[in-house]
Amino acid sequence: VLDEMKGFSRGRLTIAVASTANYFVPRLIAGFCERHSSVSVTLEVTNRETLLSLLEANAMDLAIMGQPPGKDLVSHPFMENPLVMIAPPDHPLTRERNIPLERLRTEPFIMREQGSGTRGATERFFEKHGEQVVPAQIMHSSEAIKQAVEAGLGLGVLSVHTLEMELALGRLAVLDVAGFPIRRQWYVVYPQGKRFSRVGQGFLDFMLSEAPALLTVPSAPGPTGKPAREAKK
Ligand code: PGA
């Protein structure tokens, strides 16, 4: 045990995460560093497309992202990642229930950049239902989208993990859109055949065993203030 602690305590760990995962990954890092006090972590925060190229270059210990393409990568799901549609709390649509997608044709959408997993999942969801979502504005971070939606620029679709504080404070509302939330999962990902450092292997084991205890999926209150039916398990 002492040996193991020693090996770990000198370790450096590079974790690359989808920008929507940076809202909870620091909690995992804190839990890990509590046990292995002088592990030094570098956290890269970027979008899905960049993560896939970092994985291809084997340029990090682990990646945390939405579902990657299966080829050459190993991925373990560890938590749900519902995407919800948000509006300012005084938006007329907050009073409607089960809003059909076609009802949203005239609404401006603030969307993430090409290469974002959130954007890709949103586009696929609309396409699957015979609709198209055209961005009125493009913003490269969830933070910018939240500010833009709050300021009344349009609607947005974001991971519920990015919205915990705004929903708790009532600064943004979740719309009751038919078929929403878009169901996704978080995955920890690495290249097939990866040779882990001790600390890398340690973090992977820690994540897979402790993530459920350390992390919770924020519940999205419905427009009535009650939890939305879709947020229930
Ligand atoms: P992103 O994250 O929208 O920041 O790319 C989600 C994902 O990796 O799928």
Instruction: Give me ligand 1 centre to Cα 101, in Å.
Output: 22
The predicted structure's pLDDT at residue 59: 94
Compute the distance from residue 7 Cα to the ligand 1 centre, in Å: 33
Instruction: Tell me whether residue 147 is exposed, middle or buried, using C-beta atoms within 10 angstroms of its C-beta: 0 to 12, 13 to 18, 19 or more.
Output: middle
Q: Given this model, what pLDDT does residue 71 score?
A: 84
pLDDT at 3: 45
pTM of the model: 0.90
Residues 6+ apart with CB under 8 A from 134: 109
Task: Confirm if 140 and 151 have CB atoms less than 8 A apart.
Answer: no
Q: Which residues line ligand 1 (CB under 6 A)?
A: 18-20, 47-48, 65-66, 112, 116-118
Return the pLDDT at 220: 73
ipTM: 0.95
pLDDT value at residue 229: 47
- Ligand 1 centroid, distance to 46 Cα (angstroms): 8
Could you tell me the sign of the dihedral formed by the alpha carbons of 151, 156, 162, 165, in that order? positive
The whole-number pLDDT of residue 70 equals 80
3-state SS, residue 60: coil
Strand segments, DSSP code E, in 109-172 are 109-111, 135-138, 155-159
**Pocket-testing residue among 15, 17, 19, ligand 1, by greatest number of atoms within 8 A of Cβ:** 19
Q: How far is the CA of 28 from the centre of ligand 1 (A)?
A: 18
Low-confidence stretches of the chain (pLDDT < 50) are 3, 224-225, 228-233
Atom 6 of ligand 1, nearest CA residue: 117
Contact 23, 165 (CB under 8 A): no
- Residue 172 has a pLDDT of 98
How many Å apart are CA 99 and CA 202, to the nearest integer? 46
